Structure 1
Amino acid sequence: MNRIFHKSSESMQELEDKSVDLMVTSPPYNININYGNKWENGKLISSKGKKYKDNLDEENYRNLLEKTINETKRVLKDDGQIWFNIKNRYDKGNMIPPFWVMDFFQDMYLKNIIIWNFDWGGSTNKRFCSRYEYVFFFTKNKDKYTFNLDDVKIPALNYRPDRYKSQLKNPSDVWRISLVSGNSPERTEHPAQYPEELIERIIKVGSNKNDIILDPFMGSGTTAVVAKKLERKYVGYETEKEYIDIANKRLSNG
């Protein structure tokens, strides 16, 4: 497959039923932010990259996600899985956790809610600084799905050879993985880029070589880059041509 389509993922007629092994994505957060410009002390200090405002009408936003999720379920194999990254939002002084997305997955099985914890980000003086996002892990089949635990085990801090066979252990459901900083080698001009390390763990544990990985909100191509590195195939959708160009450049350099 190995292709990124320049269109909305609300319709994926290019993909056959039950043809995808794993979907991982981070949709627009719809948090009413102007992306693409860099501000400091209220002044514009740089302007580059694609500009867009993340402020869909709430009903249209949820309809977009629902249509994309329904299409994903259509193209997902019977033993396939979905990993869905989303964060809290704020409206009129209230925090709105994203648990409403589970309404779109009533016919799937929720296996984990991963807390993706990072060590820096925006600041505020009226509440504690947010340093986490969610990754929902759903499977299409209750019992039959890929889970390559040995490929993602981590060193145990308190390894005791008299009690454990290995000094490696199952990661918890709290993953401490840094955001992509401005000076990171993987940094692009995309304003909401998630780290390769996060996607690498998901693709390793949830798929096998030559499996097809879908990202319906491809952005700068991180999912495709990691899939290629791990010898998987990728397919994605992205409405902004500039981001597709960034993704293809990353893929050609990999």
Structure 2
Amino acid sequence: MTKNYSIEYHDEDTKLIIGNSVKILKNVPNETFDLIIADPPYFLSNNGFSNSGGKRVSVNKGDWDKNDNPEAFYTEFLIQANRVLKNNGTLWIFGTMHNIYLLGYLLQKNNWKILNNITWQKTNPAPNLSRRMFTHSTETILWVKKQEGRQKFNYDNLRELNDGKQMKDVWMTSTTSSLEKKFGKHPTQKPLALLKRIILASTSENDLILDPFLGSGTTAVAAKLLKRKLVGIDIESEYMTIAKARITNISQAYEGKIT
């Protein structure tokens, strides 16, 4: 078998791997992970324009965000994710209006059950340059389990964090702060507070987490801070370098506010 990956970083709790996640997962044993957190490419790199810091910028992020058949890509990933996830484990998967409906359809088609539809509301979204539609200020995170699984949910811990009230399915943060990007920038980096909440909600200490689209490593930082184990995979060595720097400088991690 030809080796199709390289290990960028490895300590007793964290392994960071450069390579194609779907191909790598095909060689992972069944029921390996307690939790999967996936922020797959949205495939929005279509030569259009967006807004960044009040400036008109290209939406093109790189070849990793281009695909002529997103349905086939997502389907192959979801099949492998279902296989390597433990029976009572769960998957959290990010999306926007551009891909979340396709993902929701494919999840239900491929032996997953949707538990929650989390709305991440950004308190400072970029304005809409076209002035022809409402400003996009949210992303969706689907929390799902296997059809016959029984999910872990740390209800009491989350209620305590929420001033004794049940936590709702709308979470508010700012967009990712520049303080979280001191080691380098990723175009779709998520706030640390968001990933910490996901991990706190659905794992225990020493559980094993998979992030198959690691990007700049926010899931790895959150897992390390919360004493979970993690395998992170990304196809871009540039972003893996950022993730490694964030892990090796964990004491400098910045966490913004989440409500």
Whole-Å Cα distance in 1 between the matches of residues 62 and 115 of structure 2? 34
- Correspondence 1:215 to 2:249: no
Separation in 1, partners of 2:208, 2:185: 26
State the shift of 1:13 in Å.
3.7
In the alignment, what sits opposite 2:145? 139
User: Which residue, 133, 137, 141 being the options, matches 1:127?
Assistant: 133
Aligned equivalents of 1:100, 1:41: Cα separation in 2: 30
Q: Which of 228, 233, 240 is the matching residue for 1:232?
A: 228
TM-aligned CA deviation for residue 199 of structure 1:
0.8
Of residues 5, 16, 23, the one that matches 1:4 is: 16
Counterpart contact for 2:215–2:240, Cα < 8 Å: yes
| Whole-angstrom distance in 2 between the partners of 1:171 and 1:43 | 36
Task: Name the CA distance, whole Å, in 2 between partners of 1:189 and 1:27.
Answer: 17
Q: 1:253 to 1:108 in 2, by over 3 A?
A: same
Deviation at 1:141, TM superposition (A): 5.0
**Shift in Å at residue 133 of structure 1?**
0.6
Instruction: Look up the equivalent residue of 2:150 and give its one-letter code.
Output: K
Whether 1:77 and 2:90 are equivalent positions in the alignment is: no
List alignment gaps of at least 5 residues for structure 2.
1-12, 251-259
Question: 1:93-112 to 2 correspondence within 5 Å?
Answer: 98-106=100-108, 107-112=111-116
Separation (CA, whole Å) in 2 of partners of 1:84 and 1:52: 21
Counterparts in 2 of 1:138 and 1:29: CA distance versus 1, 3 Å: same
Q: In 1, Cα distance between the equivalents of 2:192 and 2:14? A: 18
Question: Aligned equivalents of 1:2 and 1:198: distance in 2?
Answer: 20
Number of residue-to-residue matches in the alignment? 229
TM-score between the two structures when normalised by the length of structure 2:
0.79
Once the two structures are overlaid, the 10-residue window that deviates more, 61-70 or 126-135, is: 61-70
The letter for the 1-side match of 2:36 is M
Could you tell me how far 1:194 is from its partner in structure 2? 0.3
Q: Do 2:90 and 2:144's aligned partners in 1 also have CA atoms closer than 8 Å?
A: yes
User: Closer, same or farther in 2 for the Cα pair 1:15/1:153, shift >3 Å?
Assistant: same
Corresponding residue for 2:179?
Answer: 184
For residues 169-196 of structure 1, what are the alpha-carbon distances to aligned partners after superposition, in whole Å with 9 as ceiling and x for unaligned? 1111111122113x32455311210011
1:67 to 76, 79, 83: 76
State yes or no: 1:114 paired with 2:123.
no
The structure with the greater share of residues assigned to helix is: 2
In the alignment, is the contact (CA less than 8 A) between 1:180 and 1:193 conserved in 2?
yes
Unpaired runs of 5+ residues, structure 1, are 45-50, 90-96, 157-166
Q: What displacement does 1:117 show?
A: 0.4
